[in-house]
Structure 1
């Protein structure tokens, strides 16, 4: 890929060690950029494959992140949930050059833009009003 296909995001040191930063997109959910204690940088859609939890709020350990909702372990290299859990969150190509973090511009604009975050909680039901005198 040529340099024109890469979007500069931030510097490596702008990502907290064992943490993340979110990258907003014009379409679709945010992308989470993670940094581990070896200064390796990874990028995943900010959505756990289980219930849609925000992975950017999880704790990074090694090359994995723990989802903050139900503690699922998601591999940062692949987006794959660790067994016995199943599921995968989309990953993004990330490049680090001279301390600058880049994402592939085409992927950032089009990859996994159709995915949404599930709405948690009970289903909203509209109840018919009770006739007068029956409530």
Structure 2
């Protein structure tokens, strides 16, 4: 089976505000984009892994983490892991920035 890699343009880098979440949809996937204070952009699944599924773009960003707005779970933007004492993980997506365009790589 041959898999193909697709770069999908999703935003202008210069339009992303630092520490704010942006929701985008690719096919049936809702993805949250976050631009950090260091300029890095991360993309993760836009639902917290707990049963109530908080919308992560509505959460607070601190460093490389976003806090779920429902249960305050601390979720890593780099690997998607929920931090102890809570457990779980959200999917992460590769991000590339090229000439002010932010791409999600799928």
| TM-score (norm: length of structure 2) | 0.88
**Mapping 1:88-127, distance limit 5 Å:** 88-104=89-105, 107=106
| Distance in structure 2 (CA, Å) of the matches to 1:41 and 1:24 | 17
Deviation beyond 4 Å, 4+ runs, structure 1: none
- Structure showing the higher helix proportion among its residues: 1
- Structure showing the higher strand proportion among its residues: 2
Structure ID, larger Rg: 1
**Mapping 1:1-135, distance limit 5 Å:** 5-28=6-29, 30-50=30-50, 51-104=52-105, 107=106
| Distance in structure 2 (CA, Å) of the matches to 1:38 and 1:68 | 23
SS state of the match for residue 24, structure 1? strand
| Distance in structure 1 (CA, Å) of the matches to 2:97 and 2:79 | 18
| TM-score (norm: length of structure 1) | 0.70
List gaps (5 residues or longer) in structure 1: 108-135
Name the structure, 1 or 2, with higher relative contact order (CA <8 Å, separation 6+). 2
Query: What RMSD, in angstroms, separates the aligned Cα atoms of the two structures?
Result: 1.4
What is the count of residue pairs matched by the alignment? 101
List gaps (5 residues or longer) in structure 2: none
